Each structure stands twice: as C-alpha cells, then as structure tokens.
Amino acid sequence: MWSILISLLLFFILKKSPSESVFNCTQKESIDSLIVNIRRDLDQCCNCRKEVPPPPIKEPTPPPVEDTRPKGPSENCRVHFSGGIMGGEYDPVGISKIYVTDDFSEYVGSGEYPSNEAAFPKAVDKSFDGIAIDKGTHLIIYSQPNFAGTVLLDIKGPAIINNVLLKDNPNYTHCNTDTYPGELQRNYPQSVRKWSRTDMRPWSFGSCKITCD
C-alpha cells in the first residue's frame, strides 16, 4: 500500500518539474525524509487496524467422576437384602430382622453391583423375598447383569419391599402391619412398607445401583 502512495508522490513531483531529469540534493533529501515519514505513518496505521485475537476459550471443568466402587453399609446409606420376608423380629421360618444379618440375609452400602448373585449371595440362595432400604438411600434394580434390561425397582428409602408372592401366607403377611421395636418403627412406619408388584425371585439374576444423599 505504501509503495503505491510513494509512487504517486514521485509522479506529482516529476510532473511539476518536467524540465529536470534529476533531482538536486535539496529535493532528494526532502523526498527521502518525506518517504520515511510516509512509511512510518503507514506502518502505524496498519498496526492499529490489525485484529486483536480473541481470548482463548476456557474449557469447562469436567464434573467429578463418581466413585462407583461398593462401600460398606453405614447409617442412612445401606440396603438389607433377605432370602426371607423383612420384619421387625427374626424368625427362622423365613423372617429377617432389619439390619441384623442371618443365615439368609446380608446388607451392603453404596456402589454399583453388576451381579446381584455376587453382591448378596445368601439372599439369592434362599429365594430373595425382602428388602429394607434405609433413609437417604436410593436403590435401582435391573433385570439383567451389568445394569442392562428393564428397571425392576427404583425407590428411595426409607422403604420395605416384601415379595407379593407371600402376601397371603399367614407366616409372613403380618410383617407389613406389625409395630416394629423402637427406632425401626420410627424409620419404617407401616406407610413405607409395600408388597412388590411382581415376584421378586427373578430379581436375583440382575444387578443394582445404590446411591446415598
């Protein structure tokens, strides 16, 4: 750009002095000085028109990766699985007392369990008929291993789920209406005790996820 302007300037100077074939010293010094000034002004103008690069895009901070490894049970973060009905008192005919492990039950803490058979083998071995979900604990049971298939149960505690298959059996039907002892009754009033919608025994061969507040 500046070379075009300089050429135009020389053209006008020559046009004004057609009789002269060369510049005298004074003219040359004046022209040289003018060229230097024009170049400086053009450089400054070009610099000021340069686009300022946009600030770098800050990548969003990824959310923390949830730790899905199984943890031990603790208060307000546990699920008790039983091969019998869940109740307020133990009975060897097939009733587990909530949060007391026996020959046909165990309880676990938060985590992802790709195999129910591996997570609570005693409950599965005896037929899987009862679940107690503690307050602040969220349980999802899937029909197949590795969290595949359909969701069979999605519930947040406190809740008791007993197998509807035994709803009319006099050995077990009272468990959903009994008054439990002490803290168990306060945490699991009759209003949070339910019979399952379907037979729970096939749930044994699925998987589950447990999360806690």
Mean pLDDT for the stretch of residues 195-213: 94
For 4, other C-beta atoms within 10 Å of its C-beta total: 8
Residues 177 and 121 in one domain: yes
Residues 45 and 94 in one domain: no
The C-alpha atoms of residue 130 and residue 82 are separated, in whole angstroms, by 5
Residues 119 and 40 in one domain: no
Give the phi and the psi of residue 142 in degrees, each rounded to 5: -105, 155
Residues 197 and 146 in one domain: yes
User: How many CA atoms does the CB half-sphere of 13 hold within 13 Å?
Assistant: 17
137 within domain boundaries:
yes
Supply the pLDDT for residue 92. 92
Supply the pLDDT for residue 168. 95
pLDDT in tens, 139-190: 999 999 999 999 999 999 999 999 999 999 999 999 999 999 999 999 999 9
Mean pLDDT for the stretch of residues 113-133: 93
- Whose CA is closest to 159, among 207, 98, 96? 98
Residues 42 and 95 in one domain: no
pLDDT in tens, 13-53: 555 544 444 556 566 666 667 666 666 766 666 555 556 67
Residues 8 and 87 in one domain: no
Supply the pLDDT for residue 17. 47
CATH of the domain at 99: 2.60.20.10
> Domain count of the chain?
2
Residues 13 and 101 in one domain: no
Give bridge partners of residue 204 from the DSSP assignment.
none
Of 49, 66, 88, the last residue of a domain is 49
22 within domain boundaries:
yes
pLDDT in tens, 47-97: 555 566 777 777 676 655 555 666 778 889 999 999 999 999 999 999 999
73 within domain boundaries:
no
Residues 103 and 184 in one domain: yes
18 within domain boundaries:
yes
Residues 41 and 119 in one domain: no
64 within domain boundaries:
no
Supply the pLDDT for residue 54. 72
Residues 17 and 88 in one domain: no
The per-residue pLDDT of the chain, averaged, comes to 83
**C-beta separation of 202 from 128 below 8 A:** no
Q: Which domain holds residue 188?
A: 79-212
63 within domain boundaries:
no
Supply the pLDDT for residue 153. 96
The structure's pTM equals 0.68
Supply the pLDDT for residue 182. 93
Residues 187 and 84 in one domain: yes
Residues 133 and 196 in one domain: yes
Q: Please report, in angstroms and rounded to a whole number, the separation of the first and last CA atoms in the chain.
A: 69
